[in-house]
Structure 1
Protein backbone atom coordinates (compact mmCIF):
# COMPACT_ATOMS: atom_id res chain seq x y z
CA UNK A 1 0.00 0.00 0.00
CA UNK A 2 1.42 3.42 -0.91
CA UNK A 3 2.07 6.02 1.75
CA UNK A 4 -1.22 7.59 2.72
CA UNK A 5 -1.46 11.17 4.00
CA UNK A 6 -3.12 9.91 7.16
CA UNK A 7 -2.09 7.75 10.11
CA UNK A 8 -3.94 5.76 12.75
CA UNK A 9 -2.22 5.90 16.14
CA UNK A 10 -3.60 2.64 17.52
CA UNK A 11 -6.11 -0.14 17.04
CA UNK A 12 -7.45 0.05 20.59
CA UNK A 13 -9.78 2.80 21.86
CA UNK A 14 -9.25 5.65 21.96
CA UNK A 15 -8.12 5.44 18.35
CA UNK A 16 -6.69 8.55 16.77
CA UNK A 17 -6.54 9.39 13.10
CA UNK A 18 -4.43 12.28 11.83
CA UNK A 19 -4.94 13.54 8.26
CA UNK A 20 -2.87 16.10 6.36
CA UNK A 21 -2.62 17.36 2.77
CA UNK A 22 0.11 16.20 0.41
CA UNK A 23 3.38 18.07 0.60
CA UNK A 24 4.79 17.89 -2.90
CA UNK A 25 7.64 20.35 -2.34
CA UNK A 26 9.83 19.67 0.71
CA UNK A 27 12.00 22.50 2.15
CA UNK A 28 15.16 21.40 0.33
CA UNK A 29 13.15 21.22 -2.91
CA UNK A 30 11.92 24.77 -2.30
CA UNK A 31 15.48 26.07 -1.90
CA UNK A 32 16.66 24.21 -5.00
CA UNK A 33 13.74 25.51 -7.05
CA UNK A 34 14.35 29.14 -6.01
CA UNK A 35 18.09 28.89 -6.77
CA UNK A 36 17.52 27.28 -10.17
CA UNK A 37 14.81 29.83 -11.03
CA UNK A 38 17.09 32.72 -10.01
CA UNK A 39 19.87 31.35 -12.21
CA UNK A 40 17.50 30.97 -15.15
CA UNK A 41 16.24 34.54 -14.68
CA UNK A 42 19.83 35.81 -14.69
CA UNK A 43 20.67 34.20 -18.06
CA UNK A 44 18.93 36.92 -20.14
CA UNK A 45 20.83 39.55 -18.16
CA UNK A 46 24.15 38.28 -19.55
CA UNK A 47 23.28 39.82 -22.91
CA UNK A 48 22.81 43.28 -21.39
CA UNK A 49 25.62 43.14 -18.84
CA UNK A 50 27.35 46.55 -18.65
CA UNK A 51 24.52 48.47 -20.30
CA UNK A 52 21.82 50.67 -18.73
CA UNK A 53 19.18 48.13 -19.88
CA UNK A 54 20.42 45.84 -17.10
CA UNK A 55 19.10 48.26 -14.47
CA UNK A 56 15.75 48.46 -16.26
CA UNK A 57 15.30 44.68 -16.33
CA UNK A 58 16.69 43.88 -12.88
CA UNK A 59 13.68 45.14 -10.87
CA UNK A 60 11.24 43.11 -13.00
CA UNK A 61 13.26 39.92 -12.71
CA UNK A 62 13.67 40.49 -8.97
CA UNK A 63 9.92 41.06 -8.68
CA UNK A 64 9.21 37.85 -10.60
CA UNK A 65 11.52 35.89 -8.29
CA UNK A 66 9.91 37.44 -5.21
CA UNK A 67 6.39 36.58 -6.56
CA UNK A 68 7.39 32.95 -7.08
CA UNK A 69 8.93 32.80 -3.60
CA UNK A 70 5.82 34.38 -2.03
CA UNK A 71 3.41 32.07 -3.90
CA UNK A 72 5.31 28.94 -2.84
CA UNK A 73 5.52 30.09 0.80
CA UNK A 74 1.80 30.91 0.79
CA UNK A 75 1.02 27.48 -0.64
CA UNK A 76 3.19 25.93 2.07
CA UNK A 77 1.32 27.85 4.78
CA UNK A 78 -2.05 26.81 3.35
CA UNK A 79 -0.87 23.21 3.55
CA UNK A 80 -0.63 23.49 7.33
CA UNK A 81 -4.19 22.15 7.46
CA UNK A 82 -4.70 19.11 9.70
CA UNK A 83 -7.67 17.02 10.79
CA UNK A 84 -7.62 14.89 13.95
CA UNK A 85 -10.30 12.28 14.57
CA UNK A 86 -10.58 10.59 17.97
CA UNK A 87 -12.67 7.45 18.16
CA UNK A 88 -13.54 6.20 21.65
CA UNK A 89 -16.28 3.93 22.98
CA UNK A 90 -18.58 6.79 23.98
CA UNK A 91 -17.53 9.70 21.77
CA UNK A 92 -16.21 10.51 18.34
CA UNK A 93 -14.56 13.90 17.89
CA UNK A 94 -13.21 15.58 14.78
CA UNK A 95 -11.00 18.66 15.15
CA UNK A 96 -9.94 20.56 12.05
CA UNK A 97 -6.93 22.88 12.50
CA UNK A 98 -7.13 25.42 9.69
CA UNK A 99 -4.07 27.05 8.09
CA UNK A 100 -4.74 30.43 9.73
CA UNK A 101 -4.80 28.86 13.20
CA UNK A 102 -8.53 28.66 13.94
CA UNK A 103 -10.10 25.33 14.84
CA UNK A 104 -13.43 23.71 14.15
CA UNK A 105 -14.70 20.72 16.11
CA UNK A 106 -17.54 18.22 15.96
CA UNK A 107 -18.60 15.51 18.41
CA UNK A 108 -21.08 12.68 18.30
CA UNK A 109 -21.79 9.30 19.84
CA UNK A 110 -20.01 6.73 17.61
CA UNK A 111 -22.96 4.35 17.88
CA UNK A 112 -25.09 6.82 15.89
CA UNK A 113 -22.41 8.03 13.47
CA UNK A 114 -22.74 7.07 9.82
CA UNK A 115 -19.75 7.23 7.51
CA UNK A 116 -20.95 8.18 4.04
CA UNK A 117 -19.11 8.39 0.74
CA UNK A 118 -20.75 10.32 -2.07
CA UNK A 119 -19.17 9.12 -5.33
CA UNK A 120 -20.74 12.05 -7.19
CA UNK A 121 -22.63 15.16 -6.21
CA UNK A 122 -20.14 16.44 -3.64
CA UNK A 123 -17.55 19.18 -4.09
CA UNK A 124 -14.97 16.43 -4.84
CA UNK A 125 -15.19 12.85 -6.12
CA UNK A 126 -15.74 10.25 -3.38
CA UNK A 127 -16.75 12.99 -0.93
CA UNK A 128 -16.47 11.56 2.58
CA UNK A 129 -18.75 12.71 5.41
CA UNK A 130 -19.47 11.76 8.99
CA UNK A 131 -23.09 12.15 9.99
CA UNK A 132 -24.09 12.10 13.62
CA UNK A 133 -26.75 13.95 15.51
CA UNK A 134 -28.04 16.86 13.49
CA UNK A 135 -24.80 17.59 11.60
CA UNK A 136 -22.75 16.13 8.81
CA UNK A 137 -19.09 17.08 8.51
CA UNK A 138 -16.61 16.46 5.73
CA UNK A 139 -13.50 14.42 6.31
CA UNK A 140 -10.34 14.55 4.22
CA UNK A 141 -11.59 16.72 1.35
CA UNK A 142 -7.93 17.39 0.51
CA UNK A 143 -7.23 13.67 -0.08
CA UNK A 144 -7.34 12.09 -3.52
CA UNK A 145 -10.51 10.14 -4.48
CA UNK A 146 -8.64 6.83 -4.07
CA UNK A 147 -7.35 7.84 -0.63
CA UNK A 148 -10.86 8.85 0.48
CA UNK A 149 -12.21 5.48 -0.71
CA UNK A 150 -9.51 3.62 1.27
CA UNK A 151 -10.15 5.77 4.35
CA UNK A 152 -13.91 5.19 4.00
CA UNK A 153 -13.41 1.41 4.18
CA UNK A 154 -10.97 1.65 7.10
CA UNK A 155 -13.19 4.01 9.05
CA UNK A 156 -16.27 1.85 8.53
CA UNK A 157 -14.37 -1.23 9.74
CA UNK A 158 -13.04 0.52 12.84
CA UNK A 159 -16.42 2.03 13.69
CA UNK A 160 -18.15 -1.33 13.23
CA UNK A 161 -15.54 -3.08 15.45
CA UNK A 162 -15.81 -0.35 18.10
CA UNK A 163 -19.62 -0.60 18.22
CA UNK A 164 -19.48 -4.41 18.29
CA UNK A 165 -17.02 -4.41 21.23
CA UNK A 166 -18.92 -1.71 23.14
CA UNK A 167 -22.19 -3.64 23.23
Structure 2
Protein backbone atom coordinates (compact mmCIF):
# COMPACT_ATOMS: atom_id res chain seq x y z
CA UNK A 1 0.00 0.00 0.00
CA UNK A 2 1.33 3.42 -0.96
CA UNK A 3 0.03 6.40 0.97
CA UNK A 4 0.94 9.98 0.10
CA UNK A 5 1.17 11.79 3.43
CA UNK A 6 0.32 15.51 3.49
CA UNK A 7 3.33 17.74 4.02
CA UNK A 8 3.72 20.34 6.72
CA UNK A 9 2.65 23.97 6.61
CA UNK A 10 5.35 24.91 4.10
CA UNK A 11 3.92 22.58 1.46
CA UNK A 12 7.34 21.94 -0.09
CA UNK A 13 8.12 18.30 -0.70
CA UNK A 14 6.23 15.06 -0.29
CA UNK A 15 6.22 11.99 1.90
CA UNK A 16 5.33 8.47 0.85
CA UNK A 17 4.43 5.82 3.41
CA UNK A 18 4.84 2.27 2.11
CA UNK A 19 3.17 -0.62 3.92
CA UNK A 20 2.78 -4.27 2.93
CA UNK A 21 -0.76 -5.21 1.95
CA UNK A 22 -2.82 -7.05 4.57
CA UNK A 23 -5.55 -9.48 3.68
CA UNK A 24 -7.08 -9.66 7.18
CA UNK A 25 -7.86 -7.22 9.97
CA UNK A 26 -6.80 -7.85 13.57
CA UNK A 27 -10.29 -9.14 14.43
CA UNK A 28 -10.22 -11.50 11.45
CA UNK A 29 -6.80 -12.82 12.57
CA UNK A 30 -8.24 -13.54 16.03
CA UNK A 31 -11.26 -15.26 14.46
CA UNK A 32 -8.94 -17.33 12.26
CA UNK A 33 -6.94 -18.43 15.32
CA UNK A 34 -10.14 -19.26 17.21
CA UNK A 35 -11.41 -21.37 14.30
CA UNK A 36 -8.12 -23.23 13.87
CA UNK A 37 -7.62 -23.81 17.60
CA UNK A 38 -11.28 -24.78 18.07
CA UNK A 39 -11.06 -27.37 15.31
CA UNK A 40 -7.84 -28.75 16.79
CA UNK A 41 -9.34 -28.98 20.29
CA UNK A 42 -12.46 -30.68 18.91
CA UNK A 43 -10.37 -33.33 17.18
CA UNK A 44 -8.18 -33.65 20.28
CA UNK A 45 -11.26 -34.11 22.46
CA UNK A 46 -12.55 -36.83 20.18
CA UNK A 47 -9.13 -38.47 20.23
CA UNK A 48 -9.05 -38.30 24.02
CA UNK A 49 -12.50 -39.92 24.21
CA UNK A 50 -11.22 -42.66 21.90
CA UNK A 51 -8.34 -43.35 24.28
CA UNK A 52 -5.48 -41.15 23.03
CA UNK A 53 -4.30 -39.51 26.26
CA UNK A 54 -1.68 -37.45 24.40
CA UNK A 55 -4.20 -35.71 22.12
CA UNK A 56 -4.81 -32.72 24.49
CA UNK A 57 -1.05 -32.21 24.90
CA UNK A 58 -0.64 -32.22 21.13
CA UNK A 59 -3.58 -29.79 20.80
CA UNK A 60 -1.98 -27.46 23.33
CA UNK A 61 1.37 -27.51 21.48
CA UNK A 62 -0.36 -27.11 18.14
CA UNK A 63 -2.42 -24.14 19.38
CA UNK A 64 0.72 -22.46 20.73
CA UNK A 65 2.51 -23.03 17.39
CA UNK A 66 -0.40 -21.61 15.39
CA UNK A 67 -0.61 -18.61 17.74
CA UNK A 68 3.12 -17.91 17.33
CA UNK A 69 2.93 -18.26 13.55
CA UNK A 70 -0.04 -15.92 13.25
CA UNK A 71 1.61 -13.41 15.61
CA UNK A 72 4.79 -13.47 13.51
CA UNK A 73 2.71 -13.03 10.35
CA UNK A 74 0.86 -10.05 11.84
CA UNK A 75 4.10 -8.41 13.02
CA UNK A 76 5.70 -8.83 9.59
CA UNK A 77 2.80 -6.82 8.17
CA UNK A 78 3.72 -3.88 10.42
CA UNK A 79 7.04 -3.22 8.71
CA UNK A 80 7.14 -0.36 6.30
CA UNK A 81 9.15 2.46 4.81
CA UNK A 82 8.77 6.22 4.80
CA UNK A 83 10.26 8.18 1.90
CA UNK A 84 10.47 11.92 2.50
CA UNK A 85 11.32 13.99 -0.57
CA UNK A 86 11.97 17.67 -0.05
CA UNK A 87 13.99 20.44 -1.66
CA UNK A 88 16.90 19.78 0.72
CA UNK A 89 16.97 15.99 1.08
CA UNK A 90 15.57 12.63 0.11
CA UNK A 91 15.37 10.36 3.12
CA UNK A 92 14.32 6.72 3.40
CA UNK A 93 13.37 5.55 6.89
CA UNK A 94 12.56 2.03 8.06
CA UNK A 95 10.99 2.37 11.44
CA UNK A 96 13.02 4.89 13.43
CA UNK A 97 16.21 4.22 11.45
CA UNK A 98 17.29 6.37 8.51
CA UNK A 99 18.80 4.06 5.88
CA UNK A 100 19.39 6.59 3.08
CA UNK A 101 19.75 10.36 2.90
CA UNK A 102 20.94 12.50 -0.02
CA UNK A 103 20.27 15.76 -1.83
CA UNK A 104 17.47 15.29 -4.41
CA UNK A 105 19.62 16.66 -7.25
CA UNK A 106 22.02 13.72 -6.88
CA UNK A 107 19.48 10.96 -6.27
CA UNK A 108 18.89 8.58 -9.18
CA UNK A 109 16.06 6.09 -9.35
CA UNK A 110 16.44 2.85 -11.30
CA UNK A 111 14.21 -0.14 -11.88
CA UNK A 112 16.31 -3.30 -11.94
CA UNK A 113 15.77 -6.95 -12.75
CA UNK A 114 12.80 -8.88 -14.01
CA UNK A 115 10.95 -8.39 -10.74
CA UNK A 116 11.14 -4.57 -11.04
CA UNK A 117 13.18 -3.74 -7.95
CA UNK A 118 13.15 0.02 -7.31
CA UNK A 119 16.57 1.38 -6.30
CA UNK A 120 17.52 4.86 -5.13
CA UNK A 121 21.20 5.73 -5.38
CA UNK A 122 23.50 8.65 -4.71
CA UNK A 123 27.26 8.96 -4.20
CA UNK A 124 27.83 5.22 -4.37
CA UNK A 125 25.13 4.37 -1.82
CA UNK A 126 22.10 2.37 -2.91
CA UNK A 127 18.90 1.34 -1.20
CA UNK A 128 15.99 -0.75 -2.42
CA UNK A 129 12.57 0.68 -1.64
CA UNK A 130 9.21 -1.08 -1.69
CA UNK A 131 10.65 -4.61 -1.73
CA UNK A 132 7.45 -5.95 -0.11
CA UNK A 133 5.13 -4.36 -2.70
CA UNK A 134 3.57 -6.24 -5.60
CA UNK A 135 4.42 -5.51 -9.24
CA UNK A 136 1.48 -3.14 -9.81
CA UNK A 137 2.27 -1.17 -6.65
CA UNK A 138 5.94 -0.95 -7.64
CA UNK A 139 4.93 0.60 -10.97
CA UNK A 140 2.81 3.11 -9.07
CA UNK A 141 5.76 3.80 -6.75
CA UNK A 142 8.04 4.46 -9.74
CA UNK A 143 5.57 7.01 -11.10
CA UNK A 144 5.26 8.78 -7.74
CA UNK A 145 9.02 8.85 -7.19
CA UNK A 146 9.69 10.24 -10.68
CA UNK A 147 7.17 13.01 -10.14
CA UNK A 148 8.31 13.93 -6.63
CA UNK A 149 12.05 13.72 -7.41
CA UNK A 150 11.58 15.97 -10.45
CA UNK A 151 9.58 18.48 -8.38
CA UNK A 152 12.18 18.48 -5.58
CA UNK A 153 15.02 19.07 -8.04
CA UNK A 154 13.39 22.16 -9.58
CA UNK A 155 14.81 25.47 -8.35
CA UNK A 156 12.64 27.06 -5.68
CA UNK A 157 11.39 30.60 -6.40
CA UNK A 158 13.27 33.30 -4.56
CA UNK A 159 11.25 35.65 -2.40
CA UNK A 160 12.10 39.19 -1.44
CA UNK A 161 12.64 39.80 2.25
CA UNK A 162 9.43 41.04 3.77
CA UNK A 163 7.26 39.87 0.86
CA UNK A 164 4.39 37.44 1.31
CA UNK A 165 3.43 34.56 -0.90
TM-score, with length taken from structure 1? 0.82
Cα RMSD, aligned residues only: 2.0
Distance 1:47 1:80, change over 3 A: closer
Secondary structure of 1:61's aligned partner: helix
Shift of 1:62: 1.4
Report the structure number with the largest CA radius of gyration.
2
Instruction: Give 4+ residue runs of structure 1 displaced > 3 Å after superposition.
Output: 45-52
**Equivalent residues of 2:48, 2:55 under 8 A apart:** no
Shift of 1:68: 0.6
**Equivalent residues of 2:15, 2:84 under 8 A apart:** yes
In structure 2, the residue matched to 1:155 is 145
Distance 1:115 1:58 in 2: 56
Shift of 1:28: 0.5
Structure 2 alignment gaps of length 5 or more: 158-165
Aligned length: 154
Q: Are 2:123 and 1:133 aligned? A: yes
Shift of 1:49: 5.3
Distance 2:75 2:124 in 1: 33
What are the superposed Cα offsets for residues 16-55 of structure 1, whole Å, 9 maximum, x if unpaired? 11111122232111111111112211332454455652x3
Shift of 1:94: 0.9
2:4 to 5, 8, 11: 8
Secondary structure of 2:54's aligned partner: helix
**Equivalent residues of 2:13, 2:86 under 8 A apart:** yes
Distance 2:57 2:69 in 1: 18
Distance 1:85 1:51 in 2: 59
Distance 1:151 1:58 in 2: 49
Distance 1:59 1:7 in 2: 45
TM-score, with length taken from structure 2? 0.83
In structure 1, the residue matched to 2:93 is 95
Q: Are 2:12 and 1:18 aligned? A: no
Distance 1:21 1:163, change over 3 A: same
